Amino acid sequence: MIARGLGFGGPGSNPILLIALVLLVLSFVNGTMFGPLRSLQTDPNAFFGFVIAIILGITVHEFMHAYAAHRLGDDTARLLGRMSLNPVVHFDIFGTLLLVLAGFGFGKPVPVNEARLRGAFASSLVSLAGPLANFAIAAVCAIPLRLGTADVLGPNYIEILQSVVFFNVVLGIFNLIPIPPLDGSNIVFGLLPPKLQWDLRPYLQYGPILLLILLWFGSRLLQTVVFGPAQVITRTLIGV
């Protein structure tokens, strides 16, 4: 799972990252959380499918945030080199480490100057562009699976392609959860009246804490809200 970006510097610059690091260590000591690296020996196809999905998913996700902002009047991300399909410019080191080891993490957030955006709901559209990109990737990668043309590549490639579809659907759904700093919160926030936005802004800082609690204690809720629907959508896309 990936958040659009926690907006923090390094692990020592904010206590939330230290909490995340503690959760990461505890997860490996207790073996309680999903870690893609654990599947490298037991199911390498699933691991490589996850890696490809994350690289592709993060890159296009963040690119579309930057592109949408550019089209709606804000060139901040473009001028900073973030309107790019180069994966390197979108990856956060600590967030990527968490992704590979623990199965959740974050990419480097695309900077957006909301004052430059055109349109009443422009900030919501910019935020929505990322998850929509993940669903688009999943739909495109599902085409050869649905048509059966992937069969000529062999079962290993089919499994990898299925993982790319599934994890991009997961990324899209997860990022729509309305908890800061996920895109869902920015989408909802951008639809609110200006006064209500101003009143709620001080509470946004508590979003990462709530998100970490959800990741640690809400496995059943995540299964219901994210992974269950992702499995249904994936099966629908690939036609099984």
Residues with active-site annotation: 62
pLDDT score of 11 more than 50: no
pLDDT score of 31 more than 70: no
pLDDT score of 71 more than 60: yes
Structurally, the chain folds into a number of domains equal to: 1
* Spatial separation of the C-alpha atoms in residues 77 and 61, rounded to whole Å: 13
Residue 106 backbone phi and psi in degrees, to 5:
-155, 155
Compute how many other C-beta atoms are within 10 angstroms of the C-beta atom of residue 46. 18
User: In the predicted model, what is the mean pLDDT of residues 162-189?
Assistant: 91
Residue 108: which domain range? 2-238
How far apart, in Å, are the Cα atoms of 132 and each of 138, 148, 204, 213?
A: 10, 25, 23, 26
pTM of the complete model:
0.84
| Predicted local confidence at residue 22, as pLDDT | 55
Residue by residue, DSSP assigns 11-29 as TTS-HHHHHHHHHHHHHHH
Element (H, E) at 106: strand 105-106
